[in-house]
Amino acid sequence: MVYRKHVTCGGPYESGQRKYLERISAGLKPTDLLMGELNSLLHSMRHRKATDLRDHIYALYGIANRFCQHMDIANPLAAPDYHGALVQTYTEYCRTIMEKSNTLLLLSNVEDKPDESSQFPSWVPNFSKGWTIGLPSTGSGTYYDAAKGSRPLLFPRPDKYRLVLKGYCFDTVTSLGESDFELGRSRSPFTKTARSLLELPTKYATGEDRAEVLWRTLIADQAQDQCPAPPEIADAFREHMLMHNSMAIFDTASFSDKGPEPETIKPLAQLATSTPEALRMIPSLPEILERKDIYAEIQATRELERSEQGLTQDQIQRGNTMLQGVLTKETKALPFARQINTIFNRKRLVTTSKGFVGAASLSTREGEKVDLLSGVRVHFVLRARSDGTHILVGESYVHGIMQGEAFEREQLVGSQVTLV
């Protein structure tokens, strides 16, 4: 298992693992490395099963003991106590880890809580749930530095279920684009997102074209173990868009009495033709319709092949050639498709009042804050409450300000942020 490799087979003394822990923990001391180890394990092992749900947390105690023996330090975690409720156990352990850590990477494990009915505080991950909305831990921990290397600043709290931090309100969500569901099973042709992008300047704050901002945001600008993602991923994005949007129109034509509805794809087609750079990255409407017709012909050929009417050998050969040609082209989309399936899970595209584009959790609403919390690596969306406290909605990627650029753009004033 992962922890056996980390702790017994070299553990913190293994050079590759130690370098990884140094990056995600932002420290070199033994306690820093331990906190990095615990953050990493909590993220990677939450899908494991446990007879007692408290063991999702208490399992760390024994692992920490072995780690501490290697490093000759005391175990900072409390010994397991099965008299406490699940929410109490998770809250106390999470607070201990955050108080001892140089980063607030643990917050990236928070899952989406759309109805706010959870018994858990919004800032406490429910590790008995097997999924999370955060970016992959390697990205959250090593690729980004949105708060510019700041350390966590936790203030005294009125009760144990509140977390009081130093934060900087940087921006506000103004429009919501497609979700992962809409782009996946529903095959939405990026209609809402394209409309929002068309309202932005043709050149983004980074100097990039809006089309480039779109594909980089969809994969949080990471691919092939690189961040920023290599430029050639743009070619994979183009094929992905051609395949995705052709199928979107084809499905509508196949299952609707109204026939093809290219109106839904016109915003994206308009974005494609808005600049020469965009046209190199986003297929035009004629290209999409041409691919859609190929899909339709392939399906018609397959249906005739299965029917009593049958096909001539030449027709079968033509159908196979056409299918192989399309499949060969579609394989070019794989580098992008793999990333978007991993990165964009349980997220939706958003734009902000200052003209930024990002990927945030599904339950994000218009008007919510995009905050930088002292000690984080990424941005978080917060939902203000009437009593002045906030709900932590979830982690977000905001293109162009993931390396501390927000502090360079303007003078941000910090304040206390109370999460409940």
**Per-residue pLDDT tens over the stretch 82-117:** 999 999 999 999 999 999 888 888 898 888 876 666
Closest CA to 21 of 11, 402, 72: 11
Of the pLDDT bands very low, low, confident and very high (cuts 50, 70, 90), residue 21 is confident
User: Does the pLDDT of residue 28 top 90, yes or no?
Assistant: no
What is the rounded average pLDDT of the residues 349-365?
96
pLDDT at 335: 95
User: Does the pLDDT of residue 255 top 60, yes or no?
Assistant: no
What is the rounded average pLDDT of the residues 145-153?
89
Residue written as token pair 């300047």: 201
User: Does the pLDDT of residue 62 top 70, yes or no?
Assistant: yes
Question: Over pLDDT 90: what percentage of the chain?
Answer: 51
Q: Under DSSP, is residue 8 helix (H, G, I), strand (E, B) or coil?
A: coil
Rounded CA-CA distance 72/63 in Å is 14
User: Does the pLDDT of residue 130 top 90, yes or no?
Assistant: no
Q: Are strands 347-352 and 357-361 parallel, antiparallel or unpaired?
A: antiparallel
- Higher-pLDDT residue of 143, 366: 366
User: Does the pLDDT of residue 311 top 90, yes or no?
Assistant: no
What are the structure tokens assigned to 91, written together? 């809250």
pLDDT at 32: 86
Contacts of 259 (CB under 8 A, 6+ apart): 253
Spacing of C-alpha 149 from chain mean position = 21
User: Does the pLDDT of residue 293 top 60, yes or no?
Assistant: yes
Rounded CA-CA distance 137/346 in Å is 15
Per DSSP, 283 falls in state -
Spacing of C-alpha 365 from chain mean position = 17
Point out which residues pair with 359 in neighbouring strands.
349, 397
Spacing of C-alpha 371 from chain mean position = 16
pLDDT at 342: 82
Contact 19, 6 (CB under 8 A): no
What is the rounded average pLDDT of the residues 362-389?
95
Q: Under DSSP, is residue 134 helix (H, G, I), strand (E, B) or coil?
A: coil
Ramachandran class of 307: left when φ > 0, alpha when ψ lies in -120 to 50, beta otherwise? beta
Of the pLDDT bands very low, low, confident and very high (cuts 50, 70, 90), residue 313 is confident
H helical segments located in 275-333? 276-281, 285-306, 313-330
Long-range CB contacts (< 8 A, 24+ apart) of 203-209?
204/355, 204/357, 204/399, 204/400, 205/355, 205/356, 205/400, 205/401, 205/409, 206/399, 206/400, 208/400, 209/275, 209/277, 209/278, 209/281
Residues 239, 244, 248, CA angle at the centre, nearest 5°?
150
User: Does the pLDDT of residue 139 top 70, yes or no?
Assistant: no
Burial profile 109-143: b = 16 or more Cβ within 10 angstroms, e = fewer = bbbbbeeeeeebbbbbbbbbbeebbbbbbbbbbbb
pLDDT at 148: 87
